[in-house]
Amino acid sequence: MSSRWEGIDEFVAVAESGQFTAAAERMGVSSSHISRQIARLEERLQTRLLYRSTRRVTLSEAGQTFLQHCQRLQDGREEALRAMGDLASEPKGLLRMTCAVAYGERFIVPLVTRFMALYPQLRVEVELSNRTLDLLHEGMDLAIRLGRLQDSRLVATRLAPRRMYLCASPAYLERYGRPHSLSELARHNCLVGSSDLWALQQDGREISQRVQGNWRCNSGQAVLDAALQGMGLCQLPDYYVLEHLHSGALVSLLEGHQPPNTAVWALYPQQRHLSPKVRRLVDYMKEGLAQLPEYRGA
């Protein structure tokens, strides 16, 4: 039984070049081979794909439709072969990536430098920025983002969990009392970070509540330090506060209103998801984060 692929490459070569001889030269075979393969293909399909003349070959209506499908098949086949080749190749060349400043400095950059030691042919440029960069416009291969995703043009891989905690020091709570409802937040001094909208949960749905206080700084570490000194309530991700919650230096508040878990994500453009340098780095960061004390057991 003839292979269902037989004749397809020959047909595409003739259709694209417009001549049997040109197609034969392109494929490195004889014109008679091309002619036989296409004749067998037309016989299997029970339809005419080409009209032959002494100078030129033209496509029938069926041939035009069939050509579009065959070209997509060829593209898919080449992509599959490249993917298999990438599996065996080592990361090399330039990889450009971005991450938020504090999280990048603390977690991502140390992992990236250890990854680079494994692959000396790899070069990495990391742009630490709290701006949400457009990967396609900026020519970035990879972004590490925190929270919830909004850009549907990108492929996302979950690297680690991320839970937000509302908390305060025992000294602050002893002096000002403990809030027992969302409405009571208005009478507390809230330490504001990069946004005065706190993500919370009410009646099973996530809400954004505006808070206010006498202190604001767009640094998570600075917010943490202020909370530890008893200046007010704060809302921070787990990796800032878990150690202090375990030691008792901070107390978790309104736990029934904490937002559903978000995550740490690796995002990359669709066309780069098969790149060995991106794929292996993402896998390495996911494994590396899982080993850190801040994420162990999460």
Report the pLDDT value the prediction gives residue 151, as an integer from 0 to 100. 58
DSSP string of 142-168, one letter each residue: EEEEEE----TTEEEEEEEEE-EEEEE
Report the relative pairing of strands 251-252 and 197-202 from DSSP bridges.
Answer: unpaired
Alpha helix (H) ranges present in the chain? 8-17, 20-27, 31-45, 61-88, 101-103, 109-118, 135-138, 170-176, 220-228, 238-247, 276-290
256: which DSSP letter?
A: G
Q: Which tens digit of pLDDT belongs to each residue from 239-259?
A: 899 999 999 999 999 988 988
Bridge partner list, 94: 123
pLDDT digits (tens, 9 = 90+) for 54-91: 678 889 999 999 988 888 888 777 766 766 665 556 78
Q: Dihedral angle at the C-alpha atoms of 134, 135, 137, 140, nearest 10 degrees? A: 140
Q: How far apart are CA 262 and CA 298, in angstroms?
A: 13
Report the predicted TM-score, pTM, of the whole model to 2 decimal places. Answer: 0.63
Question: pLDDT tens, 88-118?
Answer: 567 888 999 999 988 999 999 999 999 999 9
Element counts in the chain: helices (H) and strands (E)? 11, 12
**Cα–Cα dist 250/280, whole Å:** 38
DSSP-derived 3-state class of residue 128? strand
Place of tokens 């005419």: 48
Closest to 132 measured CA to CA, from 22, 267, 278 = 267
Determine contact, residues 144/108, Cβ cutoff 8 Å.
yes
- Considering only residues 98 and 206, tell me which one the structure prediction assigns the higher pLDDT: 98
